[in-house]
Structure 1
Amino acid sequence: MTTTLTERYISATTDSLPLETQSDVRAELEASIADAIESRLEQGEDPAEAERAVLTDLGDPVALAASYADRPLHLLGPRYYLAWWRLLKLLLAIVPAAAVGGVALVQVIIGAPVGEVIGQAIGVGISATVHVFFWVTLMFVVLERTGSATGHDWDLDQLPEPRPTGAGRSEVVASVVFAGLMIGAVLWDRFRGFVQIDGHARDLQILHPQLWPWALLGMLALLLLEVGLAVLVHLRRGWTTGLAVANTALAAVWVSVILTLLGNERLVNPQFMGLVLPSDGGGPDTARVVVVLFVLSVIGVAAWDTIDGWRKAGREAKHRATAPETGLPV
């Protein structure tokens, strides 16, 4: 028996619907299609052409069935997209970095070559990123298809507080105090020493003796430049692209100086290291762990300081661009 196009179209639409709704949808489609064809026939169209035109206008039967069943035809809709994006950004900022740091630390402890440490860390970082994308997206796809609630509906209390873009007086004071403490600690270490043995201060420096005078004076000059940058940001009432570039350059110089001295074994006094981490009893492994943690801390602080400067410069640029339109002072 030959079936008409209308019967084939209705069957293709209703086959994927729940059994309890198929008969109602079939009756509704039969009536609406018949009315549409009848309207075209009254205008003088050929019956076969009128049927094809009506069914074509209805579109893909799978999409029509999804509209009857209220099934989404997208991966993530607006109801879940923002929650997915916020959680994804948070996890991408934490999980890959933690995985890379952990693997690098383990590889260093077991004495792996530098190339293997870097290769393993990069591989784990890529793998962690892919896994975060996949599993977070899969979780929200399941929520989308099941219609489950995330439990985090937006309200006005979630509006972020205004964030200052410039350096306030407290930040300048903190920068000056920190620099003063660092300068005092360096000079005290050079001329008095921090290490006490048998209750008496011993002329044993933490920093390498060969850093004096030029290397230490150069590091103290970098501290003063950091203070000067904070003061300049405060006086300019905000960050600019030039100040962000200067901040990035200072961070890069700091990292280069510290890592170069550390790599050449000219940063920490070897006598101090021998006293704190003796070579016997597994001392070398402990020293490797300390060095790795120190390097990760130096790079992490410099990266955060650089990113923070550029973010503030970007917010300040947007603020200045919109201030004339909103009447806010620039």
Structure 2
Amino acid sequence: MKLIDIYIQEVTRRLPEKSREDIALELRSTIEDSLPDDYSEEDVKAVLEQLGSPAALANGYLDRPMHLIGPRYYDVYVSLLKMILPIASVISLISVIAEYFIGIKADETIMNVILNLFGIGIVGILEVGMQTFFLITIVFAVMERVDKGKDGQPLTTSLKKWTPDDLKNIPYIPIKKEISRWEVFWMLMWTAVWATVYFNADRLVGIYEQVGGELEFVVPAFHQDVLLQYWPIIIGLVGLEVAFAFYKLIQGRWTKNMAKLNALHQLLATIAVIAIMIHPSIFNREFLSYMADVFKITPEQFRSWLLGGVIVFFIAGAAYNAYEGFRKARAAYQNTKDIKMNI
């Protein structure tokens, strides 16, 4: 009897006080009806084992889940986390970088800048990630508990029960041609980095010398006032890259239209870079003189070499990226075509 009393106690202590007495009587009756007349402790254990864990039995009386996010909402929950966390992390990183460079000191070394950005960037991403994770989890935990659906079947992203007709709205995406959310994340992060460097080039890009065991920034490579003359073009490129990144996120795979947009983006970016680089006053004369002394040539020769190298590098990179876009789109199209033929 002691085991029965403890079992009933373990069940009812998890229930509202107003229903404990009735459920205790009902449960005791159920247990005693299942026991033989001359029962032993082993008989009691067998009946209690059949009834199961007191926590699970109490949960059945309460009619509420014992999990935070159950199978009904788990797939939708994970899908939203995968979509929102990278975007929130990028936005956090961009704001952290912008805030840092607003208050940067003129004499701060590149190594300090890198270490500080790395540190505050990681902290910012973790903080925003935890807040986003917490809020989404709370929302789905509440949905799990107010949902009156009893079948337990997982829901689709539209929060409806799955049917075979849902497959008609899902395009086939070969694994190798899928655009992952992390690919979009790195694209947005790269945009934030190069834009930040561009608007702070006079403090980051140039010649560093070892002074007293530390790297000291001595000569900037560019005239910042010249770079700032092209700010509308740069802001336009940043907007284009951000829009293209979100377009990739929505599409989820390479298509012909995406390949065309990618080629257009590469062309516009290359034209913008060339237009900026050929400005006669873009390079700092002190930088050209310093580097010319290092390579034992004239400043004009070094400028020509540097300008030519940058232009060739950007043209080659743009051509390769545009080619890769069309190759992936063509491969994905051919794969889909083969599947339709087999069907």
TM-score class, shorter: 0.5 to 0.7
Partner of 1:80: 73
Give the CA deviation at 1:116: 1.7
Of 91, 115, 130, which aligns to 1:98? 91
CA, structure 1 residues 207+231, in 2 after alignment: closer, same or farther (shift >3 Å)?
farther
Matched, 1:49 2:42: yes
Matched, 1:219 2:314: yes
Partner of 1:153: 159
Unpaired stretches in structure 1, ≥5 consecutive residues? 194-203, 240-311
Partner of 1:5: 3
Give the CA deviation at 1:111: 0.8
- CA deviation vs aligned residue, 1:74-110 (integer Å, no higher than 9, x gap): 2211233233223322320221221121111111111
Structure 1 stretch displaced more, 66-75 or 7-16: 7-16
Counterpart Cα distance in 1 of 2:140 and 2:121:
29
Counterpart Cα distance in 2 of 1:188 and 1:82:
48
CA, structure 1 residues 207+183, in 2 after alignment: closer, same or farther (shift >3 Å)?
farther
Please give the secondary structure, in 2, of the residue aligned with 1:238.
Answer: helix
CA, structure 1 residues 96+11, in 2 after alignment: closer, same or farther (shift >3 Å)?
same
Partner of 1:229: 324
Partner of 1:36: 34
Matched, 1:327 2:342: yes
Matched, 1:238 2:337: no
Contact 2:81 2:136 in 1 (8 A): yes
Partner of 2:171: 162
CA, structure 1 residues 106+34, in 2 after alignment: closer, same or farther (shift >3 Å)?
same
Contact 1:37 1:50 in 2 (8 A): yes
- CA deviation vs aligned residue, 1:272-312 (integer Å, no higher than 9, x gap): xxxxxxxxxxxxxxxxxxxxxxxxxxxxxxxxxxxxxxxx9
Give the CA deviation at 1:233: 4.2
The two structures, once aligned, show a CA RMSD in angstroms of 4.2
- CA deviation vs aligned residue, 1:236-272 (integer Å, no higher than 9, x gap): x315xxxxxxxxxxxxxxxxxxxxxxxxxxxxxxxxx
Please give the secondary structure, in 1, of the residue aligned with 2:35.
Answer: helix
CA, structure 1 residues 206+136, in 2 after alignment: closer, same or farther (shift >3 Å)?
farther
Partner of 1:291: none
Contact 1:104 1:118 in 2 (8 A): no
Q: How many aligned residue pairs are there?
A: 229
Partner of 2:130: 130
Give the CA deviation at 1:186: 6.8
Contact 1:99 1:124 in 2 (8 A): yes
Contact 1:189 1:206 in 2 (8 A): no
Please give the secondary structure, in 1, of the residue aligned with 2:91.
Answer: helix
Structure 1 stretch displaced more, 61-70 or 79-88: 79-88
Partner of 2:190: none
Letter in 2 for 1:153: L
Contact 2:260 2:326 in 1 (8 A): no
Aligned ranges for residues 160-309 of structure 1 at < 5 Å? 160-162=169-171, 165=177, 170=257, 204-205=279-280, 210=304, 211-233=306-328, 237-238=330-331
Normalised TM-score (structure 1): 0.54
Letter in 2 for 1:59: G
Letter in 2 for 1:21: S
Letter in 2 for 1:74: H
Contact 2:270 2:314 in 1 (8 A): no
Letter in 2 for 1:13: V
Normalised TM-score (structure 2): 0.52
